[in-house]
Amino acid sequence: MQTYNLIHDEAEIHRATTRLFPMLTDDEAIFISLSARNKYLNEEERKLYQLGRSEMFQKTIVRNPVFLLREIHKMSVYPLFSSKGVIFPIEPNIITVYLNINPVSMSIAFHKTSSAFYDGLVTGSKINPYSHFKKEMARSRSRKNFIDLDLDLPPMEWEEKKIILDKIYYDLSQYVGSVDIIDTKSGAHFLLSNIRGNYTETIDKINTYRYYHKELSVYNEFEFKRNDNESVPLPGTYQSDYKVRFYDPE
């Protein structure tokens, strides 16, 4: 059976479990998924896959961090994508492994699924409870441990990129107790935790900083935004052909 090569460094995945996974309650889990990214497709491939707005083609939950690596390996052996009833093989260079940075609640997802299933019975609409439950898991956050700031940059040498990451890291550190940086193909994700001072006032300062930094940027393709879907490429895996990893400023 054909498999993906999703992992480049198992040690980085282990670091993700220790740095990003909180202590989970009996109701909580971490949501992970595979996506075929539209932006990595050429025009011919976009016509073939017809991803539209939904790029996610595999999803699951992890209830214990020790099983994260196992779940990634399990995802590696299903190289197929279904679009409008047609099944295609997926090219590895368009795949990204995503992790939701905040835990999700199974009971919230269950209640949403039950409600949708009941509505379907009333209206005559067909609902697949299993697939609907997995979809609801992605958007049933139980609590917020991290705020994610997504930095997009044009292609550049690592040393130039490192200067930018270091500057933003030290600037953001004045507002929060912890900043974790995930280096990605198109830039980086800054995961903020332990907000200092008044939460609302600090978030306002961070938002002001983002726009201030953007206006001063010399990069035409520079974008620095808050990532509200809370999904980030998983360190230790590939994002297309790029090795996603943590970056720790010295």
Q: What are the structural domains of the chain?
A: 10-106+133-137 (no CATH), 147-229 (3.30.70)
CA–CA separation, 162 and 217 (whole Å): 15
| The model's pTM | 0.85
The per-residue pLDDT for range 34-69, each reduced to its tens digit, is: 877 666 666 776 666 665 555 666 888 899 888 999
Distances (CA, A) of 191 to 80, 100, 228: 32, 12, 12
Check whether 193 has a pLDDT greater than 60.
Answer: yes
pLDDT in tens, 142-154: 999 999 999 888 8
Indicate if the pLDDT at residue 88 is higher than 80: no
Instruction: Kindly indicate the confidence band of residue 84, based on its pLDDT and cuts at 50, 70 and 90.
Output: low
Residue 103, pLDDT > 90, answer yes
* pLDDT confidence of residue 204: 84
Tokens of 75: 């995802």
Side-chain half-sphere CA neighbours of 175 within 13 A: 22
Q: How far apart are the first and last CA of the chain?
A: 43
